[in-house]
Amino acid sequence: MIFSNPAFIRRRGRMTKAQLGALGRLDQFLMDPAVDAKAVFNRRAPTAIEIGFGMGQALVHFAGCHPEWNCIGVDVYRPGIGSLILQCEAQNVGNVRIVEADAVSVLERLEDNSIELMMVFFPDPWPKKRHHKRRLITRTFGKLATRKLKVGGLIRLATDWVPYAETIDEALKDNPGLQGGVSERWSFRPETKFEERARRLRHHVQDFCYTKVG
Ligand SMILES: C[S@@+](CC[C@H](N)C(=O)[O-])C[C@H]1O[C@@H](n2cnc3c(N)ncnc32)[C@H](O)[C@@H]1O
């Protein structure tokens, strides 16, 4: 089913030896999104999910600062998955699990009303018009994400691509289950190479924050 999502493009990338070695330990981090988080983490706790974690800096930072949370990372970029494992190991962060699959298929399999925080930072902007259908954030994505959030749960996003910021606003503003919009930069979002590049190119980085309302 994962190929039905036009936003899903599996990307290869150069991998360091350490990242490759870490992928050999992926089994210890993998989770099945259809399995109850309590069974996966061995505890009931607030759950955060980052979609498209890239190299994993934001997720490991959040998880390290919130050991009382269960944290799930979703991506298909293998060097990034290796990098996330390495950071969890180096920083002794034990509350992260990984799903290596398309974000939409993962959300579809997660239990409804089960997520306190969803993060999507610098989703691929797909600037060419003919590629817009590949963008992850759409009204349909918004509806699916809302279903997965608990009431009072948050979805936080950031992009440096103004037309994509407009797409995010369009996709989420009329969603009756969400309240919110543009927001201040979130203090838990560390600067990754995407934001650093944005700063270099003088792109405006826009954060968004929405709350699921009952
Ligand atoms: C531009 S990068 C941003 C990475 C990271 N969030 C950051 O801010 O540094 C987008 C990431 O989303 C992942 N991604 C894109 N589409 C995806 C999808 N449909 N399912 C899972 N991951 C996806 C890519 O593999 C990539 O790692």
How many A from CA of 171 to the centre of ligand 1?
Answer: 18
CB–CB of 98/81 below 8 Å? yes
pLDDT digits (tens, 9 = 90+) for 101-137: 999 999 999 999 999 999 999 999 999 999 999 999 9
CATH 3.40.50.150 fits 2-212, yes or no: yes
Query: Structural domain boundaries of the chain?
Result: 2-212
In a 3-state reduction of DSSP, which class is residue 179? Answer: strand
Out of 27, 32, 124, 207, pick the active-site residue.
124
Region 67-76: mean pLDDT is: 98
Rg (CA), the chain: 16
pLDDT at position 5: 72
Give which of 198, 124, 210 is closest to 160, Cα–Cα.
198
Nearest CA to ligand 1 atom 24: 52
Residue 8 has pLDDT above 90, yes or no: no
The secondary element (H helix, E strand) that includes residue 208 is strand 206-212
What pLDDT band is residue 1 in, cutting at 50, 70 and 90?
Answer: very low
Ligand 1: atom nearest CA of 57 is: 9
Q: Where are the beta strands (DSSP E) in 125-205?
A: 149-159, 178-183
Q: What is the mean pLDDT of residues 83-98?
A: 98
Question: Which atom number of ligand 1 is nearest to the Cα of residue 52?
Answer: 12
Q: Which distant-in-sequence residues (6+ apart) come within 8 Å of 63 by Cβ?
A: 48, 69, 71, 88, 93, 95, 96
Model confidence at 13: pLDDT above 90: no
pLDDT of residue 3: 45
Q: Which of 59, 136, 186, 188 to mutate to test the pocket of ligand 1 (most atoms within 8 A of CB)?
A: 136
pTM for the model: 0.95
**Ligand 1 and 62: CB distance under 6 A:** no
Res. 10: pLDDT tops 90: no
Q: How far apart are CA 110 and CA 144, in angstroms?
A: 10
Please indicate whether residue 124 is annotated as part of the active site: yes
Distance CA 69, CA 77 (A): 24
